[in-house]
Amino acid sequence: MPRVNVYAGGTLDRAARRRGDARWLAARRDDPKTRYIAVWRGLCLVRGDDPPRAALLSPEAIAEIAPEAATVVLLGVSDGVAHFAVDLPRHAKVPAPGALIERGAFRDLRAIGGLMPAPEAALLAHARGLMHWHARHRFCAVCGRPSELRKAGHQRVCTDPACAAEHFPRTDPAVIVLARKIHEKVPPNPDYPL
């Protein structure tokens, strides 16, 4: 049976039209139904082992572990429930990777993604990818000034008004192939002798 690419299993509505709606975003941030994915140093908060499951935190729960200044990104909406990702600062006082805490453990998605239900692995990959981009694009690639987050985390803009360059998350298409030798007799080509 072919292995499923779990990262292609996302079911979230990315809600692109809502990213610039500040009132809607503020209401969703505090909505008790809203769920948050916590990311720390590229690791995702996960519950359990058999199989590992995405730890989806309430607004109240994320407020306990994330400082005000944490990077927050809208991932999308599923069945009317908004999903955000929060990147905890590198030096935040959170448990070390692998250490079990009440709400789960911060783990490397590369090690456990294939064991998770596909929609959850895709959700965490989405969160991790966006946070990775933000962490590495804090400064404008055009003029070097600081850039700041816009469009609910799907854009960064240079803080220098004279530059105002817009930057967007990278998309990295990737293909993995298996090279296989095919044993088959091919008639010689008189124009291209080998």
Q: Residue numbers of the site for Zn ion (CB under 5 A)?
A: 140, 142-143, 145, 158, 160, 163, 165
Whichever of 77 and 142 has its CB closer to Zn ion, that residue is 142
Whichever of 56 and 140 has its CB closer to Zn ion, that residue is 140
Q: How far apart are CA 23 and CA 32, in angstroms?
A: 16
Upstream peptide bond of 51 is cis (omega within 30 degrees of 0): yes
Six-digit token pair at 84?
A: 């955000």
CA dihedral for 79, 53, 25, 147, sign (positive or negative): negative
State in angstroms the smallest separation of the CB of 108 from Zn ion. 33
State in angstroms the smallest separation of the CB of 16 from Zn ion. 24
State in angstroms the smallest separation of the CB of 165 from Zn ion. 5
**C-beta neighbour count of 72 within 10 angstroms:** 18
Whichever of 42 and 169 has its CB closer to Zn ion, that residue is 169
Whichever of 58 and 155 has its CB closer to Zn ion, that residue is 155
> Nearest to residue 54, comparing CAs of 36, 74, 27?
36
State in angstroms the smallest separation of the CB of 156 from Zn ion. 10
